Chains A and B, each alone.
Chain A
Amino acid sequence: MKVVAQQVGDALVIRVDQDRIDAASAIQFKDQMRQLTQVGMPRVVLDLAQVAFIDSSGLGAIVAAMKGLGPAQKLELSGLTDTVKKVFRLTRMDTVFTIHHDFPVNLAEAG
């Protein structure tokens, strides 16, 4: 599981450099998210543009990552591919997360 974090403006952008977050990688993903988000940046943007597929374990790991953030931190998602979007929509998790259809414009400019 390759996950890369980069500070862009007031946000920590975490890019998943892997094509799936599934039952075989969910625990590792959760651990890496916990470590990377400890820096306490108020805004965490998880860039899923490279992720073609997540299963329910992957979805659970993203939810766990959000719940593991500090009270002043917020997890946003960007770059959801079609199948990932479908999993969020069916489970109604798309109503829980702030989802950017593309990479957040203000961050792209800051970066």
Chain B
Amino acid sequence: MTAHQSFRKQASHVIAHADPLAVRHGLASLFAQEPLACLSEDMRGTAEIVMAEVLNNIVEHAYAAQSGAIEVCIDLGEHGLECTITDSGAPMPGDDLPKGIPHALDQIDDLPEGGFGWFLIRSLAQDLQYSRFRDQNFLRFRLPAPVLVA
């Protein structure tokens, strides 16, 4: 069995409570399990940036009014890591994903101290899809992962 084959059919599943410390612990748990635990440092870094931004946004916005659970499922598929994040918080404004437009950085005094999240997610994640069904938000995307051996 090659190293690549050992990646097959690995999935991780974590449910975190929506607060920043629980998100930190949820991320640690996700990255300690396969398939994320097997990624190269570079892919792991990319995955952690995206996951952290997605989860922090849910805590900050979807669950701004009331807290709840966040469910994270990660499957290693043919085209990378297939990620699905589910929460029961408020819908995305306009039922659409934020554009994540980068800020101008030319004035030091006016430098942004936030709003980087969706820009980072859009820079690193692929095939982002958002849907709302039965009062739940579903966010799906792909992250780069080693190519599977056929």
Which residues of A are at the interface with B, using a C-beta cutoff of 8 A?
A: 20, 22-24, 53, 55-57, 59-61, 63-64, 66-67, 82-83, 86-87, 90-93, 95-96
**B41 on interface, CB distance cutoff 8 Å:** yes
Main secondary structure of the interface of B (DSSP, over half): helix
Within 8 Å CB of B52, what residues of A?
22-23, 53, 55
- A-chain residues with CB within 8 Å of residue B45 when the two chains form the complex: 53, 82-83, 86
Using Cβ atoms and an 8 Å threshold, which residues of chain B touch A24?
A: 20-21, 23-24
Main secondary structure of the interface of A (DSSP, over half): helix
User: Which residues of chain B in 82-140 are interfacial with respect to chain A, using CB atoms and an 8 Å cutoff?
Assistant: 102, 105, 108-109, 111-117, 119-120, 123-124
Number of contacts between A and B (CB, 8 Å)?
79
**Using Cβ atoms and an 8 Å threshold, which residues of chain B touch A96?**
105, 108, 111
Counting CB contacts under 8 A, is B49 at the interface? yes
- C-alpha gap A92/B101 in the complex (Å): 13
For B111, give its contact among A20, A23, A63 (CB under 8 Å): A63
B29 in the interface (beta carbon within 8 A) = no
The residue from B48, B109, B119 contacting A91, defined by CB atoms under 8 A apart: B119
A-B contact pairs, 20 of them (CB 8 A): A22-B23, A23-B23, A23-B60, A24-B23, A53-B48, A56-B53, A56-B116, A56-B120, A57-B20, A57-B56, A64-B113, A66-B111, A67-B111, A82-B41, A82-B45, A83-B45, A83-B49, A86-B45, A87-B49, A90-B120
Given known pairs A24-B21, A57-B56, A60-B113, the reply for A95 and B105 (CB within 8 Å) is yes
